[in-house]
Amino acid sequence: MKPTKRAALILGAATLLVTGLFVATNAYAANLLSNPGFESGNLSGWSCTGSGSAAVTTPVHTGTYALNGNATTSDTAQCTQTVTVQPNTAYTLSGWVRGSYVYIGVTGGASTWTPAATAYTKLTVPFTTTAGQTSIQVYLHGWYGTGAYNADDIALDGPGTPPTTTPPTSSSPSKSPSASPSPSRSPSTSPSTSPTTPVTGLPRHALIGYDHASFANGSGYIRMTDIPAAWDVIDLAFGEPTSVTSGDIRFNRCSAAECAGVESDAEFLAAIKAKQAQGKKVLISIGGQNGQVQLTSTAARDTFVSSVSAIIDRWGLDGLDIDFEGHSLYLNAGDSDFRNPTTPVVVNLISALKSLKAKYGTKFVLTMAPETFFVQLGYQFYGGTSAGDNRAGSYLPVIHAVRDFLTILHVQDYNSGPIWGLDNQYHQMGGADFHIAMTDMLKAGFPVANTGQTFPGLRPDQIGIGVPAAVSAGNGYVAPAVVQAAVTCLVSGTGCGGYTLRGGPSPAFRGLMTWSINWDRYYNWEFQNAQRPFLNALP
């Protein structure tokens, strides 16, 4: 960007005497989990990460066995289990845990944790499934570097599925747990909620734009109440740090002296609430071209969490956009496994985002707007391998670690040099081809340089394209029809020119981001007027 940027018995198997037989109602199971107390003597039914995770005989809460997880500096020793559930139904997840920083929750949903349980302590997470939701993934884990934790007698209480002559396949353990630790994560190939009914309430195809809320430039200031209803996500640009390494983020609204017509704080807050009442999401965007943010210490990380929370709470915002540019993110030499990063600025950002997600829950909206240099360039060069710039691909570990609660990744397809695509050809700005190739990489996934690892693709509902709204907004501007040609290819697989989609068509493609709403108004709403009807017409 430019600066100028959770009772069970009542729900259980109640019976009725009918023609001399007891017939169960449609609430079948109390505890829906397999091997909930680890009494099999192993981890059967669970998928666990990290070394040292096992069923142990001491300490236990009840029975003979309990789980022992070993959280290291690079893995939280997470155990997950996927279970069939009913839509629009109340459930309660509970468990007894012991250790420092032990978490229990539902991937993409409610969670809770304890910072220090020297004896077994019960954690309880009530939640209600969404419309159309038929499965969930439950998890429990420790925290980075805190060592061993224990868990026992995990229960998911609520109505299950009708009994069958063979076990339902959906109650089997997850086969592909995410490699990176997360308080709320799921395998990238099997999201716990339907992409078409996201918890965050975004439309199927969204229009996303940045609002110059803290500064003025040649495009002019727009009062929040005057932003048209066409925009689904409004990113307030920008929250910036008091210093590069402080982690202390401040959002200072543009002054009346700099921004003619700026509204009062009360009017600004009222307008945000009005937008949200219309179903719009308003986020604070952190960083931008001038806002370098390096979370080099845990103190900076904690300050980042508290200061960003203060901004979100002050203005009643829906979440956060990460627009770290410049030298905010980089990889230390030898940090070559994007699944288990070790560089503090990366590790601390991941930890901070997970803390914010845990604080704000299921409705927390998290978007990212990296440049191609920090994402797609990772196919050819990766900073931690000491091959080239140490910032190359440095967003990849962050994206991967938060993929289960990342709402949208809209890479900036502008201000970019040529990028090597999955067809092993360079792609350059200036046509539909660049947007097609760069976006296909996000859906298909790609090998990460010379590391021997592959970055897994994202769900299509997590992927958007970032483009300039107008010729003055950034290098790489193309006419609205060119953007539409690229989206048509990505959504339907047609009109792709000479490019073959490695990730296949993506009807659930989320939408378009632009820098910026202000520049679009300056150019008579060319972007909005062309792209809003186009997105509405997509399948």
Exposed/middle/buried for residue 164 (C-beta within 10 Å: 0-12, 13-18, 19+): exposed
3-class SS letters over 245-263: CCCCEECCCCCCCCCCCCC
Residue from 502, 538, 532 nearest 227 by CA: 532
161 and 84 in contact (C-beta within 8 Å)? yes
Q: Give the Cα separation of 209 and 413 in Å (integer).
A: 14
Token pair, residue 528, equals 């909005």
Question: What residues pair up with 99 in beta bridges, in sequence order?
Answer: 117
Distances, alpha carbon 310 to alpha carbons 164, 200, 235, 506, in Å: 51, 21, 17, 37
Of the candidates 240, 263, 325, 371, the residue annotated as catalytic is 325
Question: What residues pair up with 368 in beta bridges, in sequence order?
Answer: 322, 409
Reply yes or no: is the peptide bond before residue 44 cis, omega within 30 of 0.
Answer: no
Distances, alpha carbon 311 to alpha carbons 162, 198, 233, 249, 291, in Å: 47, 24, 17, 8, 16
Neighbours of 268 (CB within 10 A): 18
Question: What residues pair up with 149 in beta bridges, in sequence order?
Answer: 69
Residue 325 falls in the annotated catalytic set = yes
Catalytic center residues: 325
